[in-house]
Each structure stands twice: as C-alpha cells, then as structure tokens.
C-alpha cells in the first residue's frame, strides 16, 4: 500500500473519470493540495501521521473524491448547478467521502473509551 497520493496520481485518476484534468489544469494543484490537507487534518493523527509511509486505499480515494468535488464546485459557487430547464442544489457533504473516512476519523474525545482505543 502506497503513502499519501500525489498530484500525478490525481491527474491519472481524473483521466479515468468523465472529467478531463485538462479542463481543470489551472485549478487542479490548488484543489488537490487543499483536499490533501483537509483529509490529513481529519484523519486520526495517532494512527496515521502526515508522514505515514502507508495510507489505506480508502483514505487515498477520499483525497481524490474531495479534490474532484472542489474542482467541480467552481461550477456552482452559490451551491446550485443550473441546467437547461432545471437547477439542482449541491449538498454540502459528500456521503461517499464520509463512508470512506469513517474508520479513520477520531471520534469526539469525550466519547472515546479505553476499549475503543485498544480496539484500534
């Protein structure tokens, strides 16, 4: 299992999606770095430090999903995407991201028990 994803890997991941990285070439570095920083901040640092050599694939994918969401968010600055005959409100939380991250996010300190720590 590799470490934290790189911008090159992000570009490769985007090339397999319906959106081309060339469409977002000017925004890609910013979105990727922001997504990586957010995920690293959200991950439970005691179990996966920022300098970790091994990062679970689900956390790596969460970085890509969040970066992709940030890239496409520019198309809906007010939270609404308009189409020819209708508009859609963009949710402020991505359920796929939450599912990928739920095992790696620290619970609130008050809710953490010794048994939960030992189970990790």
- Percent of the chain exceeding pLDDT 70 equals 64
pLDDT at site 59? 92
Distance, CA of 111 to CA of 4 (rounded, Å):
28
> Which are the contacts of 61, defined by CB distance < 8 A and separation ≥ 6?
100
pLDDT at site 102? 87
pTM of the full predicted structure? Answer: 0.71
Distance, CA of 10 to CA of 65 (rounded, Å):
10
* Residue 115 in tokens: 């048994």
Backbone angles phi, psi at 40, to 5 degrees: -65, -35
Interval 43-83: pLDDT, tens: 877 677 778 888 999 999 999 999 888 887 766 666 666 66
Q: With beta carbons less than 8 A apart as the criterion, state whether 74 and 42 touch.
A: no
């Amino acid at each position: 299992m590799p470490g934290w994803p790189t911008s090159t890997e992000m570009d490769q991941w985007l090339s397999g999606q319906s959106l081309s990285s060339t469409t977002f070439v000017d925004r890609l570095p910013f979105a990727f770095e922001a997504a990586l920083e957010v995920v690293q901040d959200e991950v439970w640092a005691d179990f996966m430090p920022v300098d970790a050599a091994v990062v679970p694939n689900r956390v790596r994918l969460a970085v890509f999903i969040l970066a992709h969401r940030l890239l496409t968010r520019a198309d809906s600055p007010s939270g609404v995407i308009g189409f020819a005959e209708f508009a859609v409100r963009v949710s402020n939380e991505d359920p796929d991201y939450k599912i990928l991250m739920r095992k790696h996010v620290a619970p609130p300190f008050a809710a953490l028990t010794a048994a939960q720590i030992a189970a990790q």
